Amino acid sequence: MTVKNPPCRVLLVEDDPGDAHLVRQTLNAAGAGRFDITWVGSLAEARQQLRDNPPDVLLLDLSLPDSSGLATVLAGREAAGALPLIVLTGHDDNGFEHQTLETGAHDYLVKGSFTSDGLIRAIRHAIIRARLEAELRALASTDYLTGLPNRRHFFTQMETELARMQRLDGERAAVLMLDLDHFKRVNDHFGHATGDALLKHFATLMKDELRKIDSLGRVGGEEFAILLPAADPEAARSFAERLRQKVEETPLVLNGQPIPITVSIGVAIMEATDGSADAALIRADKALYRAKEGGRNRVEIDPLA
């Protein structure tokens, strides 16, 4: 049985009905059912469509009733996010084409100069390029072993939360620094493959305890961090203690052999008055140090919390 691919969803933003008809005709020439085309005539309508029914690719005319030139590309890229964006224009200008591509378009097509095959090829290449760009962004922000956000990405999430808190009155968030106890012993005794399995096991235990609004990242070798928005010191302590106990009671089991683990946790509160997210992370790290010095497998709270 042949499985049909779903049609490629195209959002065509073109204020000229004649030009819009030609583009639709060009795409339909590729065969029935290959493209599902939605046509709108303004940037405002495009924004609405992108919110309500995101397409696979955006075909954007530069000259619209509510926008023109590079401003259209900038606005289109902002509204479309990482979606493939192809500019359609009546201006055959190499310099302007270069500016358009630098501004965020994936391709630049001059009206009346492309065939059905050429337009389809441009759409296919734009989709592939956007997918590769997304994969590169994921690689740059993700820890390869656990699949968690890396330190840079986690810190960005903290900065975003701090900015949100500063717009509101009385908002706080908890920051936890976590370190697996005696992790080096596991690596030395069982090998690095077991150490890697232990890190992934620990990441899973933490993820299972998080709310949808919480964030988790791997910020060092065996160090992790958790961001708990809208959490006061008592709620943060309760969460940390519950997680510490769960880790202690849930050893990694490999080939029938349990490998016990424990974790030390430092907790700090991020305030809207903090100059940067790094300040809270430093306080949590100092609390973590006290937990390690105090005998490990324990939770310590920053005294300022």
Task: Count Cβ atoms below 10 Å from residue 97 Cβ, excluding itself.
Answer: 18
**Cα(285)–Cα(170) distance, integer angstroms:** 24
Cβ–Cβ < 8 Å for 181, 303: no
What is the C-alpha to C-alpha distance for residues 34 and 27, in angstroms, rounded to an integer?
8
Q: Which residues contact 167 (CB under 8 A, 6 or more apart)?
A: none
The answer to whether residues 109 and 84 touch, using CB atoms and an 8 Å cutoff, is no
Task: Considering the candidates 222, 223, 241, 248, report the single residue annotated as catalytic.
Answer: 222
Query: Pairing state of beta strands 57-61 and 85-89?
Result: parallel
Torsion sign, CA atoms 91, 97, 99, 100: positive
C-alpha 253/C-alpha 128 separation (Å) is 41
Cβ-contact 80, 32 below 8 angstroms? no
Q: What distance in Å separates the CA atoms of residue 180 and residue 128, rounded to the nearest whole number?
A: 40
Instruction: From residue 33, give the alpha-carbon distance in Å to each of 36, 37, 238.
Output: 7, 10, 56
Burial of residue 275 (number of CB atoms within 10 Å: 0-12, 13-18, 19+): exposed
Question: What kind and span of H or E run contains 100?
Answer: helix 94-103
Catalytic site includes residue 234: no
Q: Which residues are catalytic?
A: 222
